[in-house]
Structure 1
Amino acid sequence: MALILSIETATPVCSLALSDGPDVLGIRETAEKNSHSQVVTVFIDELLRECGLRPGDLDAVAVSRGPGSYTGLRIGVSTAKGLCYALDKPLIAVDTLEAMAYGMARMADENTALPLLFAPMIDARRMEVYTALFDAQGKKVREIQAEIIEAGSFAAFREQHVICLAGDGAGKCRQVLLHPNVHYLEQFSVSARYVAPLAYEKFRKGLFEDTAYFEPYYLKDFVAGVPKVKGLREE
């Protein structure tokens, strides 16, 4: 098979999975805020030790490429690239929303009269989310975008489909997106366990990134806030 370490840091969840082919051997994850930089290397060491493996036994390293948190993505991608350089292993990038949709499809109730569409959502501040639409087979039916959620969101799809929403951006939709064909997957959580099978498919096809030039997919430019320091004022 193929031993792949998958890293998911695009959201407040920091999650790592070690897999052999399509089978996940172990998971480490936490939703503790701002913990990514503190735990990501610890989780790697714990997973390898748990499975009796060394870093050099890996066949590839996969990372969730975004969109998502600027800082979280930088940490995940930097870690993945560092491992690939040090171990001379290929780098695999998996779309964050695609991996979320893959997981959502496996926990959704398929006993519906209408076909299902999955809208994974990542919080992009205020009423905006990063989202896309996927069918039950994982095919993208609407491209990734930063969208302000309104009462009419997904109007072109929701009359003929049941749209399942999940992710840390879905909660902000509840008060404005009220429609009988819009369902919320309450128990869903972002996880590297959903990155792993998609990474394996890319490994089989030889779809690797250029480690030197690969960058996360931020979707929007990072904007630093003005530091609030006593005695300083904006010119």
Structure 2
Amino acid sequence: MLLALETANEWCSVALFDGKAVVAQRQDDRSREQTRLILPMIDAVLGEQGLGVSALQAIAFSRGPGSFSGVRINAAVAQALAWAHDLPVVPVSTLQALAQAAYRQYQLTQVVAVLDARMNEVYAAAYQLDTQGLMQPLEENLKDESGHEQLVAYDQVRLPDEAQRYALVGNGSHLVTQARELAVYTDVHASSEDIARLGYAAFKAGKAVSADQALPVYLRDNAWKKIAEQRAQMTGQQ
């Protein structure tokens, strides 16, 4: 059994996955409530199945990019539970989970997942469906662990070849300059179910890590600073 956590953006979502399907799930779309909600939600899904944390095989979490506080909460809770119960952890890209949600919600098989990063920038990455029904990064864009993920201005989003075959999905999709030329789905949201499916596949493939390696990915180096401070720093560098 795998526990999946998603707090990297607006929603707080927790799921238990048995390798084939989600057997328990809780979700709450109230923004900025993740800190208060996540632990009771974890207790609820475990209680529904009569399980304790020690019965889990692994914990998967949405590692970013996304909201700084949301990503930090996700990583911190995953680390704490894993340390306390000696469990492996599976970090899952938030953008990949968003792409998986596009397949779950609309059966889209080729997408550019886009999240609003504020400050006139977006997080973006291209994915396509594999034979296992999982969204995977395009090989042509894989430079390193997160090389396919972009933090760029609206008009600098790198699109795949034959971009017209791809849909833009996520809350930042309408911001992309090329959006007028492509199908746009702004209502696609990643949930713990998407984290669970991707995380379980990665776990079975031997890609789990120890708790101390379950690190968040922000893409923006100064993400810990307030937005006004980030903007001031960027202005000073110009």
TM-score bracket for this pair, using the shorter chain length: 0.7 to 0.9
Matched, 1:47 2:45: yes
* Structure 1 residues not aligned, in runs of 5+: 111-115, 228-235
- Conservation of the 8 A alpha-carbon contact between 1:108 and 1:185: no
Write 1 or 2 for the structure with the bigger share of helix.
Answer: 2
Which residue number corresponds to residue 119 of structure 1?
112
Shift in Å, 1:133: 0.5
State the AA in 1 paired with 2:154: I
Which residue number corresponds to residue 184 of structure 2?
184
Q: Equivalent of 1:133, from 126, 142, 167?
A: 126
- Conservation of the 8 A alpha-carbon contact between 2:126 and 2:160: no
Which residue number corresponds to residue 172 of structure 2?
169
Which residue number corresponds to residue 236 of structure 2?
none
Which residue number corresponds to residue 150 of structure 2?
145
State the AA in 1 paired with 2:179: L
The two structures, once aligned, show a CA RMSD in angstroms of 2.2
- Conservation of the 8 A alpha-carbon contact between 2:171 and 2:188: no
Shift in Å, 1:163: 1.9
Question: Following the alignment from structure 2 to structure 1, what is the Cα–Cα distance between the partners of residues 104 and 164?
Answer: 17
- Conservation of the 8 A alpha-carbon contact between 1:65 and 1:95: yes
Shift in Å, 1:107: 3.2
Cα-to-partner distance string for 1:38-89 (whole Å, 9 max, x where unaligned): 1000100111111222222111111111111111111011000100111111
* Structure 2 residues not aligned, in runs of 5+: 142-147, 230-238
Which residue number corresponds to residue 200 of structure 2?
200
After superposition, the Cα gap between the structure-2 partners of 1:105 and 1:211, relative to the gap in structure 1 and judged at 3 Å, is: same
Between 199-208 and 99-108, report the one with greater CA deviation.
99-108
State the AA in 2 paired with 1:224: K
Which residue number corresponds to residue 102 of structure 2?
104
Shift in Å, 1:30: 1.5
After superposition, the Cα gap between the structure-2 partners of 1:22 and 1:156, relative to the gap in structure 1 and judged at 3 Å, is: closer
Question: Following the alignment from structure 2 to structure 1, what is the Cα–Cα distance between the partners of residues 12 and 52?
Answer: 21
- Conservation of the 8 A alpha-carbon contact between 1:18 and 1:24: yes
Which residue number corresponds to residue 231 of structure 1?
none
Question: Following the alignment from structure 1 to structure 2, what is the Cα–Cα distance between the partners of residues 190 and 109?
Answer: 14
State the AA in 2 paired with 1:74: R
Question: Following the alignment from structure 1 to structure 2, what is the Cα–Cα distance between the partners of residues 48 and 156?
Answer: 41
Shift in Å, 1:154: 5.2
After superposition, the Cα gap between the structure-2 partners of 1:66 and 1:156, relative to the gap in structure 1 and judged at 3 Å, is: closer
Percentage of matched positions with identical amino acids = 29
Question: Following the alignment from structure 1 to structure 2, what is the Cα–Cα distance between the partners of residues 199 and 68?
Answer: 18
Question: Following the alignment from structure 2 to structure 1, what is the Cα–Cα distance between the partners of residues 159 and 52?
Answer: 50
- Conservation of the 8 A alpha-carbon contact between 2:170 and 2:187: no
Between 73-82 and 206-215, report the one with greater CA deviation.
206-215
After superposition, the Cα gap between the structure-2 partners of 1:223 and 1:184, relative to the gap in structure 1 and judged at 3 Å, is: same
